[in-house]
Amino acid sequence: MWQVRQFHLLAILLFSLFSSSARADITHIVLVWMNESAPSGALQNMIEQGGKLSAIAGVSDLHIGPPLASERPVVDDSFALGITMRFPSKAVMEAYLADSHHSAYVADYIAPYARKLVVYDIEH
């Protein structure tokens, strides 16, 4: 009887390990460099409207703002806006990327004023 319980506990432990690794969290990082010709309020609009992205299902830990100025040579603070958010899985992130609110934000507030955009997706 004891060996059966040990087997069941081992099976439950292994199942939880493998099922949790299949659902890794994702951190989505977006860095935006502005066009020289962007109007003065464009960055503030990006920040204000970007805050509304947290209403899209699956978004957690949304942070949006300008870079922290740094004298350290390893720090790239040349971008104008950084956005970070977390998702519970890649599938949830992909659903967010396809959401019409996300698409509208990119089309209305990012695309017209960005000269460069870099995205990093980190699995953990």
Tell me the one-letter amino acid at 48: E
Task: Classify residue 71: in a domain, yes or no.
Answer: yes
Q: Is the distance from CB of 77 to CB of 63 less than 8 angstroms? A: no
Task: Classify residue 32: in a domain, yes or no.
Answer: yes
Digit-coded pLDDT (tens) for 21-42? 455 799 999 999 999 999 999 9
CATH of residue 64's domain is: 3.30.70.100
Examine the pLDDT at 72 and tell me if it is beyond 90.
yes
Residue 17 pLDDT: 44
Task: Classify residue 29: in a domain, yes or no.
Answer: yes
Tokens encoding 70: 């740094």
Task: Classify residue 48: in a domain, yes or no.
Answer: yes
Q: Specify the higher pLDDT residue, 124 or 12.
A: 124
Examine the pLDDT at 10 and tell me if it is beyond 90.
no
Task: Classify residue 12: in a domain, yes or no.
Answer: no
Range of the domain at 110: 24-123
pLDDT band for position 7 (cuts 50, 70, 90): low
* Alpha carbons 7 and 88: distance in angstroms, whole number: 30
Q: Tokens 């690794």 sit at which residue? A: 21
Task: Classify residue 57: in a domain, yes or no.
Answer: yes
Task: Classify residue 7: in a domain, yes or no.
Answer: no
Tokens encoding 58: 């699956």
Task: Classify 43 as helix, strand or coil.
Answer: helix
- How many structural domains comprise the chain? 1
Residue 33 pLDDT: 98
Task: Classify residue 17: in a domain, yes or no.
Answer: no
Is residue 62 left, alpha or beta, with left meaning phi > 0 and alpha meaning psi from -120 to 50? beta
Digit-coded pLDDT (tens) for 79-89? 999 999 999 99
pLDDT band for position 98 (cuts 50, 70, 90): very high
Percent of the chain clearing pLDDT 70 (strictly above) = 81
Rounded to two decimals, the pTM is 0.80
Examine the pLDDT at 13 and tell me if it is beyond 50.
no
